[in-house]
Chain A
Amino acid sequence: MLTSSGRAPVVTQPMLVFFAIMFSFPFWADAAGLYHYLGVEIAVFIIYALGYNLLLGYTGLPSFGHGAFLGIGAYSYGLWQFSGYPGVFTGLAVAIVCAAAAAGAAALFLSHRRGIYFALMTIAFGQIFWFLAIKLRWITGGEDGLLNVLRPTLDFGALDISLRSNLTLFYLVAVLLTVLILVLWRLVHSPFGTALQAIRMNEMRARFAGYRVWLIKWTVFTLSGAIAGLAGALLCITQESAYPDVMSLHASGFVVMMTLIGGGFVSFWGPVVGAIVFILARDVLGAATETWLLWYGLLFMAVMLVEPEGVVGAWRKLIAKLRRSSVQPGPAQEPKPAAEGGAA
């Protein structure tokens, strides 16, 4: 469940496990047949998916045009670098502000909508931004995008760290992701997070409880767009370019699939798992066949048919099963407690 009874600690066990895996990744990546660049990509997409899940999983708002804000973040970062300001953090800040501004503008129209009307309007806005990215050639470079966005150097006075190496870039993204996870965990367990979930469950009731639902929806959409902007800027650093493809409807669908396959509706960690599964599948399947998306699509359908709550949902059921059989050892065909059907 996204809702959890009882106190939510600032740092949790799954967090520590995740941070340990992440920060040790460069040391075992080779042995696992992976590489640093892949780690950077996964971390960037986790940022993107975590921000996206504020909308989809927590507030129940399906955005199908979120690639727009990823792209706007990437372009803003690239253009900011081109105009002669090499600072990484100012670049990231500019990307966040630009993506938030675009998302905030779109959300003015979206926040009074819900359900299918909301979804359709996000598609429309996504297409508008995508179209602009292609047509405003003198700004965005059209279909080629911005090329040769050089990887900058982090300037800490005495200590300069070049991001040319994927290893240093990985640790920059990992630190940002750590901060994001800590902040988002607090956010979803604060009254604001409770309000988001209340809106998902019953928007009408939330209004009659005095919540300014449209303002909350506007805020969460803008915030989610800002986080996508951060991810976009990091993607631009990683790929040393920004291009319109990530803004297409088709690419916007990826983050939806990531979030769902991981279990964004049932867990804070759903989008994290989903982004890992997605990028790994792309790499593993992509190495085997050019039509990897076909196979990924079939995998996605299979997971959704068998376990609509995604990987995390399946994991939880497995743990619950193991617990039961260890508490009460006995025949394998132990009857299912009635409570589980209700909790599912």
Chain B
Amino acid sequence: MTASARQPFFLAEDLHKRFGDRVVLERISLAFEEGVVSGIMGPNGAGKSTCFNLLTGLHKPDRGRIVFDGEDITGLTPEAIARKGISRSFQIMNLFDEFTAIENIMVALPAVRSGLSRLFWDTRGDSALMDEAASVLAQVGLQGREHIRAGDLPYGQRRALEIGVALAARPRIVFLDEPTQGLGADGRAKLADLIKALRLKYTLVIIEHDMSFLFGLARKISVIHWGQVIAEGTPAELMANDWVRASDLGKVA
């Protein structure tokens, strides 16, 4: 790989976050490498989602800093962070429900976002743009579903579209927040296949509380508990870790 002196692709240092008098993140440091799948694991309420929300700009950390590709992005707004090429999906479904599947993708394409002043650009009639959107949909396995309203898609396909919207932004790093949420065994298997295909092209960071799901996909996993990173390493290293084994997380389903 690259020289060890180089900073990691995405780096969070000493993040601290409290809401009122409740400390949610005590001291979180994370590093994600380019071109691999990283995982964040932890039980419900451990602060995983809050951590994602800090990394993608929804909340500002009370302390600490976030560096993306050598640039300090701490405290930037979500839209500014998105424009840097950092994209995310949401744990709770977060789509444009009245738009069709392909319109959901289209609206997230950077070309559309930067064409707001083009009064005579009919995006839905632009075949190059529609092809681009259709190819993103195909990437997440939704070919043939282009013109169905997002709100009318079945749950599993909505999950896939959620990831598609994140990918549409041509991201340099993608954060997926509990992508398996609400999926059955079959849905999980499909999603795992999808992520295996995506990891060849994207830098992914996945939050999951389903250990078995993450272990099959991520190269490096950070375990968050009580607002801290309690363990870090490859799936194999974590299986041997006392902390992890002592917690509920050790019980791989």
Q: Which residues of A contact B (CB under 8 A)?
A: 1-8, 183, 186-187, 189-192, 194-195, 197-198, 201-202, 204-213, 216, 342-343
**Among residues 98 to 133 in chain B, which have CB atoms less than 8 Å away from a CB atom of chain A?**
98-100, 103, 106-108, 110, 112-113, 115-125
Query: Does B149 touch A at the CB level, under 8 Å?
Result: yes
Distance between Cα atoms of A192 and B97 in the complex (Å): 18
* Chain B residue nearest to A4 in the complex (CB): B124
User: Chain A contacts of B165 at CB under 8 A?
Assistant: 205, 209
User: Chain A contacts of B120 at CB under 8 A?
Assistant: 186, 190
Residue contacts A-B, CB under 8 angstroms, 17 given: A3-B98, A8-B122, A8-B125, A191-B112, A191-B118, A191-B123, A194-B112, A198-B96, A201-B97, A205-B90, A205-B95, A207-B77, A209-B108, A209-B169, A210-B79, A213-B79, A216-B116
**Are the CB atoms of B151 and A194 closer together than 8 Å?**
no
Contact of A207 among B82, B96, B116, B119 (CB under 8 A): B82
Distance between Cα atoms of A8 and B120 in the complex (Å): 10
* Chain A residue nearest to B129 in the complex (CB): A191
**Are the CB atoms of A190 and B121 closer together than 8 Å?**
yes
Contact of B151 among A4, A204, A206, A342 (CB under 8 A): A342
**Are the CB atoms of A5 and B122 closer together than 8 Å?**
no
User: Chain A contacts of B149 at CB under 8 A?
Assistant: 342-343
Distance between Cα atoms of A168 and B108 in the complex (Å): 47
**Are the CB atoms of A5 and B82 closer together than 8 Å?**
no
A190 to chain B, nearest CB (A): 5
B40 to chain A, nearest CB (A): 18
**Are the CB atoms of A192 and B116 closer together than 8 Å?**
yes
Distance between Cα atoms of A6 and B113 in the complex (Å): 19
User: Chain A contacts of B110 at CB under 8 A?
Assistant: 210
Contact of A208 among B56, B115, B123, B124 (CB under 8 A): B56
User: Chain B contacts of A194 at CB under 8 A?
Assistant: 103, 106-107, 112, 123
User: Chain A contacts of B141 at CB under 8 A?
Assistant: none
Name the 9 nearest CB pairs between A and B, nearest first: A7-B125, A210-B82, A201-B96, A209-B108, A207-B78, A342-B152, A191-B115, A210-B83, A192-B116
Q: Which residues of B contact A (CB under 8 A)?
A: 56, 77-79, 82-83, 87-88, 90, 94-100, 103, 106-108, 110, 112-113, 115-125, 147, 149, 151-152, 165, 168-169
User: Chain B contacts of A209 at CB under 8 A?
Assistant: 82, 107-108, 113, 165, 168-169
User: Chain A contacts of B117 at CB under 8 A?
Assistant: 192
User: Chain A contacts of B169 at CB under 8 A?
Assistant: 209-210
**Are the CB atoms of B98 and A1 closer together than 8 Å?**
yes
**Are the CB atoms of A204 and B94 closer together than 8 Å?**
yes
Number of A-B contacts (CB under 8 A): 106
Distance between Cα atoms of A44 and B113 in the complex (Å): 33
User: Chain B contacts of A183 at CB under 8 A?
Assistant: 119
Distance between Cα atoms of A183 and B119 in the complex (Å): 9
User: Chain B contacts of A205 at CB under 8 A?
Assistant: 90, 94-96, 165
Distance between Cα atoms of A210 and B111 in the complex (Å): 11
User: Chain B contacts of A189 at CB under 8 A?
Assistant: 122, 124
B15 to chain A, nearest CB (A): 19
**Are the CB atoms of B119 and A5 closer together than 8 Å?**
no
Instruction: Known A6-B124, A212-B79, A342-B152; judge A190-B118 contact (CB<8 A).
Output: yes
Distance between Cα atoms of A197 and B123 in the complex (Å): 14
Distance between Cα atoms of A307 and B31 in the complex (Å): 54
A342 to chain B, nearest CB (A): 5
Distance between Cα atoms of A342 and B124 in the complex (Å): 22
**Are the CB atoms of A202 and B95 closer together than 8 Å?**
yes
Distance between Cα atoms of A195 and B96 in the complex (Å): 11
User: Chain A contacts of B106 at CB under 8 A?
Assistant: 194
User: Chain B contacts of A216 at CB under 8 A?
Assistant: 116
Distance between Cα atoms of A216 and B119 in the complex (Å): 14
B105 to chain A, nearest CB (A): 10
* Chain A residue nearest to B88 in the complex (CB): A208
Distance between Cα atoms of A186 and B124 in the complex (Å): 12
A114 to chain B, nearest CB (A): 15
**Are the CB atoms of A201 and B88 closer together than 8 Å?**
no
**Are the CB atoms of B98 and A197 closer together than 8 Å?**
yes
